[in-house]
């Protein structure tokens, strides 16, 4: 009996206690994901190194076993202001906190401790791949004429795969996205002024490490380096001079809004962006553009950026 790669269901659910399986279900925790990749048994092979009176390989034992999972979700709200998007548990497992203002907004921001974790079930044709204690990183990507996405990458604890009937997923909470365009993405500002944008990426920059010790196994996120990469249309330097901003260490605000209908509006705000040395000028359709790298820096701490759904 063949197992088809496309025949898959991904479930993802926040854990109340680290590493304890919250038993995600297809009805409530199904993820409408794309570009799913899963490595169920990463780690090292420890060579026993026995001396023998003949040539040949030595036995090995597996160690530091863990799993990695990556997938993408469309960047779109829940459709109801004040209701978290269906991928909220994935965002929170990327070292962020969620603040809900009922009926108004849901806001995510980076946090330095008490990081959430999650359990993932990936069922491919009746084989269940499971991982607990997942923590990870996210990249928010908004490119002109493309579908804005969140690119998640997680590391979790190893659990042996098993045969299990594929659940029936419920994707009713997942709305169809809108492409990034002049109409659908009405705001992109740097330093309070509008800029013409080709591509944008905010990388949360979470450092994710497995700690495989006697008495404790955990996936930890001990540091972060939030970074923005974008490409904008060049203007006279009197209007926008990225070289002077980098040279002088001048901070600037960054604002991006995608969506115009309440419940579907997503706003990203960076209060303190530090311009790095610009890349070589490039062109598209004969028009000059600047590739830029900008660090999202803390103001008072845990406020490098906010991602708000309204």
Count of domains for the chain? 1
Mean pLDDT of the chain: 97
Torsion, CA 87, CA 89, CA 91, CA 94, rounded to 10: -150
pTM for the full predicted model: 0.96
Angle among Cα 247, 112, 291 to the nearest 5 degrees reads 30
| Nearest alpha carbon to residue 31 among 88, 107, 106, 112 | 88
Q: Give a yes or no: residue 3 inside a domain.
A: no
Domain of residue 221, residue span:
8-45+59-309
Residue 88 to residues 85, 116, 127, Cα–Cα distance (Å): 6, 11, 26
Q: Give a yes or no: residue 293 inside a domain.
A: yes
What integer pLDDT is reported at residue 1 of this predicted model?
79
Q: What is the mean pLDDT of residues 79-96?
A: 98
What integer pLDDT is reported at residue 259 of this predicted model?
98
Residue 231 parent element (H or E): strand 227-233
Q: Give a yes or no: residue 71 inside a domain.
A: yes
Q: Give a yes or no: residue 245 inside a domain.
A: yes
* Region at 43 (left for phi over 0; alpha for psi -120 to 50; beta for the rest): left
Q: What is the mean pLDDT of residues 229-247?
A: 98
Neighbour count for residue 128 (Cβ, 10 Å): 19
Helix, coil or strand: residue 289: strand
| Residue 105 pLDDT exceeds 90 | yes
């Amino acid at each position: 009996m063949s197992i088809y790669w496309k025949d898959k269901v991904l479930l993802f659910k926040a854990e109340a206690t680290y590493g304890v399986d919250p038993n995600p279900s297809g009805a409530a925790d199904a993820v409408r994901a794309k570009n799913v990749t899963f490595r169920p048994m990463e780690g090292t092979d420890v060579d026993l190194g026995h001396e023998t009176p003949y040539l040949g390989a030595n036995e090995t034992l597996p160690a530091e076993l863990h799993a990695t999972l990556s997938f993408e979700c469309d960047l779109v709200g829940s459709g109801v202001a004040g209701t978290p998007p269906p991928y909220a548990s994935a965002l929170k497992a990327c070292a962020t906190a969620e603040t809900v203002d009922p009926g108004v907004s849901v806001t995510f921001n980076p946090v330095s401790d008490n990081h959430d974790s999650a359990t993932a079930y990936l069922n491919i044709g009746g084989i269940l791949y499971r991982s607990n204690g997942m923590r990870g990183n996210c990249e928010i990507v908004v490119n002109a004429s493309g579908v804005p996405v969140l690119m998640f990458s997680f590391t979790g604890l190893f659990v042996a795969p098993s045969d299990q009937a594929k659940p029936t997923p419920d994707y009713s909470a997942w709305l169809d996205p809108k492409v990034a365009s002049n109409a659908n993405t009405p705001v992109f500002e740097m330093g309070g002024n509008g800029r013409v944008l080709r591509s944008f990426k905010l990388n949360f920059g979470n450092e994710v490490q497995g700690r495989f010790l006697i008495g404790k196994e955990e996936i930890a996120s001990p540091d972060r380096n939030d970074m923005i990469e974008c490409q904008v249309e060049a203007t006279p330097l009197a209007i926008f001079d990225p070289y002077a901003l980098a040279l002088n260490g001048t901070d600037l605000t960054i604002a991006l809004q995608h969506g115009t209908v309440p419940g579907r509006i997503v706003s990203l705000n960076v209060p303190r962006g530090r311009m790095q040395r610009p890349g070589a000028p490039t062109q598209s359709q004969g028009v000059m553009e600047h590739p830029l790298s900008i660090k999202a820096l803390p103001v008072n701490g845990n406020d490098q950026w906010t991602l708000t759904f309204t």
